[in-house]
Amino acid sequence: MSTEVKVPVLGESITEATVGEWLKQPGEAVAQDEPICSLETDKVAIDVNAPVSGVMGEHMVGAGDTVVVGAVITTIADGAGAGDKAVAPRKDEGASVPSQSAPAPAEGDDAVVLSPAVRRAVLEHGIDPTTVKGTGKDGRLTKEDVLAAAEAKKSGAAPAAAPAPAAGEAPAASGRNVERVKMTRLRQTIAKRLKSAQDTAALLTTFNDVDMTAVMEARSKYKDLFAKKHDVRLGFMGFFTKAACLALKDVPSVNAQIEGDEILYHDFVDVSVAVSAPNGLVVPVLRDADKKGFAQIEKDIADFGKRAKDGALTMEDMKGGTFTISNGGVFGSLMSTPIINPPQSAVLGLHRIEDRPVVVDGEIVIRPMMYIALSYDHRIIDGREAVTALKIIKEAIEDPTRLLIDL
């Protein structure tokens, strides 16, 4: 007897997804609630878990195929032996049939299943994946494993041969290869949304620089007590989130959005926090940020970062948002012009901190400075309003007492 595995409900208004990769192969034993494949939607990647224990059946769809909610993607047969062959399910039970389903690995097959990120790392560093021991789930190779192997190769500790070209690659006569990888659904959505923002909004960016001395001194003075009391690190995002909330209260248009021929003004601040995930940038929402204290803001942001890395963010995490903060400084960016996250009307870009000479009270001194940028939709936000909002953020960071007395 076999149990059908169907595409689960993905969230409000989400009707289809793309198969990311299969985590279990036909004939392998699976445990109940064990992830067997990943699905990519417009916003997040989610795992499909086994509804029962048993033996994995045939893949009815392949990686890269589009499936709809409720479609049957595989079956799980009764039994516990990984070597037992599962009953092959029919391919006419609601799933979209791929042009080529992923084949079951043969006995003794040494092929290594690689995610797109790992495959890119393998090609970039010239690592033979079959020579690297995986530390991921079920011994799967991770990007960190490949990077560690590359470091070992540089030091001469464990030289590895360059990998063979991936399936579908045709090496040129010169030995140079070109890899063709289909864009994930998430990456396609990011591309469409960003291009739509450029095509629709009247984008403009205003800049300022911030002396980070006061915030850095406050963090240095209180970080240990803060961590001990709240069990979370005191970072910069808490300061900038609270400073942004002050600015959005004083300049409501920066927290508003256009809907048709109307402007929607929000009496709450839901901050979308740009977080790096394996498949691209995602923006989970920190709800009611204006009502939260530093500790809760830092805890929420830390949780977003961890769950983004683990691929555990949900649709609900991404829903809504009235303003976005993106911190390119963690990657070393000195200055940028961030693009708004539609239908929002503004985004705050943070950048790296570096010592620079500045004039204070007529004297040249060295201070830790950061460039900040506010990109905004000029259809709804005037230049005066954008500059004022950014100036409020600057003043609050340079004098954090303002955050306490609402100035």
Angle at 401 between CA 406 and CA 363, to 5 degrees: 125
The one-letter code for the residue type at 31 is A
- HSE (side-chain half, CA atoms, 13 Å) at 344: 29
Catalytic residue among 109, 288, 378, 399: 378
Amino acid at 139: G
* Length of the chain as a residue count: 407
Strand extents, DSSP E, 137-219 = 203-211
Each of the 407 residues of the chain gets a pLDDT tens digit; together they read 889 898 888 766 677 888 888 888 888 889 988 888 888 776 677 788 899 999 988 998 888 788 888 889 999 988 754 444 434 444 444 443 333 333 333 333 344 566 656 766 776 677 888 788 888 766 777 777 888 888 887 776 544 444 555 555 555 556 788 888 777 777 777 788 888 888 888 999 999 999 999 999 999 999 999 999 999 999 999 999 999 999 999 999 999 999 999 999 999 999 999 887 766 678 899 999 999 999 999 999 999 988 888 878 887 888 889 999 999 998 899 999 999 988 999 999 999 999 999 999 999 999 999 999 999 999 999 999 999 999 999 999 999 988 876 66
Report the predicted TM-score, pTM, of the whole model to 2 decimal places: 0.64
Return d(Cα 242, Cα 254) in angstroms, integer.
15
Question: What is the distance between the alpha carbons of residues 325 and 338, in angstroms, rounded to a whole number?
Answer: 9
Helix %, strand %, coil % of the chain (to 5) = 30, 25, 45
Where do the domains of the chain lie, and which CATH numbers do they carry?
Answer: 1-109 (2.40.50.100), 112-182 (4.10.320.10), 186-405 (3.30.559.10)
Using alpha carbons, list the distances in angstroms from residue 103 to 3, 46, 57, 334, 382.
Answer: 20, 23, 11, 47, 58
Which is the catalytic residue, given 109, 231, 288, 382?
382
Tell me, yes or no, if 382 is annotated catalytic: yes
